[in-house]
Amino acid sequence: MVNYRVEDLVSLLQALQGEGCQVLEETDDSAYGKFGWVIDLEGNKVELWHRQRGNETRPRSLRQSAAQPAAVADRFASKIGAI
Q: Which domains does the chain have, with CATH numbers?
A: 1-52 (3.10.180.10), 56-83 (no CATH)
Counting Cα atoms < 13 Å in the Cβ hemisphere of 72 gives: 9
As a whole number of angstroms, the distance between CA 34 and CA 52 comes to 8
pLDDT above 50: residue 80: no
Residue 66's pLDDT is 47
Q: What is the pLDDT of residues 33-66, one digit of tens each?
A: 999 999 998 899 999 999 987 655 555 555 444 4
